Structure 1
Amino acid sequence: MAQQKKVDLNKPLDATEEAKIRRTPLEPALATAALTLHGDYYRQVQSKTNHAIVWHPITQAYLLVVFVVATVYVFRDLVDVSDSISEFFSLLKYHKYVLTKYFPAMIFAAGTVGLVSFTITDEFRVISDKLASDAYMAQIFRFPLRVYANAQPTDANTKFVEAASQSTDLVEYRNSPIAIVTVVPLPDKSTTDTFHAKITGLHVRKAYRTAGVEKDLLEFAKEKARVLCNRYVLDNNIHTNNIRIVLAAEAYSVDKSLTSLYAEEGFSVKRTSTKLDPFALEATKTFFFVIPAGALLSLFGITRISYELQLDNAVDLVTGSTAVRKNETSAKRRA
């Protein structure tokens, strides 16, 4: 296996490295980093989903009801024997132990919300963990990543390595990958008139999400879709002066930055689904064997949104393109 460039998401970047941003295509030494960044996306979505559930109006209403009921139960006796507010607080001062009756209600409320949140969001953790499996890697990259990672420098010009490297671009800062985008062709959906491609992963490390890198990644994705279309036209000997390029993408409703970006860039919503795992054959049907998963996810507005965008279809945009080369620019402080 090629010597892998490691990415530690729990540590800040090395400040001694030169502060430059570099776009680089996937290479065997970056295979592990690519998988790590894709996995981090689902971990971040898990965190955002937890936040969305806790602050959802339904959750807040539930907590308020529990608090009100608990308050009535805890202070009912003191209220009954008090003739005024001052007397109530005077009695409370000498009977502070009654406040301990709040604890069961607090534990019950927090436990219920925590259990529901964990049950829903744990699926994102499972997705992140499963990305290391051959089945999931094949769907993300459309090639065996383990085989690619074992490629030797002498294999750099082989058709397999060149084609695989075209699928993914990474952004490095201070000599460490901080962002990734992967675009794959969809030959089963493509025809002689229309070429379909899909963004299977677009992610930026949390610390750099406000730097505008996501928009750059989306531009890379559009470029890669045209490169892949060019390869599809050549490989299939398609003779046409006009071919439509359709770029598909997905995002979760809780990921406001990505959904907003797709909307700004003109992507249209094709469908929404409560099947959170895009790589699984079937959606989770129930939680706790009795609660319909789809109904609970819909209740909190947690869905996976599918988008499509039609790119410029002039054929000169998809001819003569080559694999993306490394490009270095000075780092920009856009955060």
Structure 2
Amino acid sequence: MTQTLLPATSTESSSRPVVAVTGADGFIGSHLTEELVHAGYRVRAMAIYTSQGSYGWLDHVAPEVMQHVEVQLGDVRDAGSVRALMRGAQTVYHLAALIAIPYSYVAPRSYVETNITGTLNVLEAARDLGTARVVHTSTSEVYGTARTVPIHESHPLQGQSPYSATKIGADKLAESYFLSFGLPVVTLRPFNTYGPRQSARAVIPTIISQVAAGQRVIRLGDLRPTRDFNFVADTARAFRAVGEAGPEVLGRTLNAGSGREITVGDTVKLIGQVMGADLRVEQEDIRLRPEGSEVMRLLADHSELQALTGWAPQLTLEEGLRRTATWFTDPANLARYRVGEYTI
């Protein structure tokens, strides 16, 4: 359902409870910002500084939403930036991270500095400021290739890429601050989020952007891995659910996924059906992960999140793909992508 916000007075905006979002300029972060504004919050949003003055994907959020957003340019690696963002916020949603797996093979130290040190800065600021709740972002990649399915939160953690290793480190830091200092932190572990604004380094926008540009021979990597895809609006609702839930979620790690498993190859076929295109795939070696690094199977058990918060995915994969395809086929949106190029 489309929500429309009426123009707000400054009094209305200032009376809203304040929450902070790191990584608000990114794919999921911009959608979460919208979700929180629609739910009645004022969002203090961290966007990384660039000389172009860009706010990332927040530049493409509707003005009636942005009037309830205070953008703060900063860097999660900088403790002062983080503290300034979080001061006076009742909840911080910590999404800032380097997430591209292929680039983590190239520049692993940058992932340590952003994903681990950045998380430490958030936790330390929350401890000093008395922040009421920290929602920390994990990833299904920390599980590695599934040993048992569906994957419960108790599944072993396997660092199959430098990216996943740094996220495991960040998750364990968050856990340690709950156990050591009683910090009110909850970790959300989303599975394979997709939707409008996603980078073309991810498989669904890689496929859809090529189809939207008129290509029918799709260049991909391995077609065998299975994924549990979750539409970004459902992921954003999961974040808000754990941010607003009772104290029973504190100290917990909770999966957010659809509970549906599909191979990359079958995803291509489904997108072809949704977009009315007959597709053929050509494998490019450059898109393949190192053999021991590829996560071959992911399938979420989200029963704990559902039991504690009532959250469940609302959109089917088919409907989510339709919405994503509609966004990408808008020429203005498609123009932001280097279609067909391999994106690290």
* Length-normalised TM-score, structure 2: 0.26
The answer to which structure, 1 or 2, has the higher relative contact order (CA under 8 A, 6+ apart) is: 1
Whose Rg is larger?
1
Q: Greater share of helix residues, 1 or 2?
A: 1
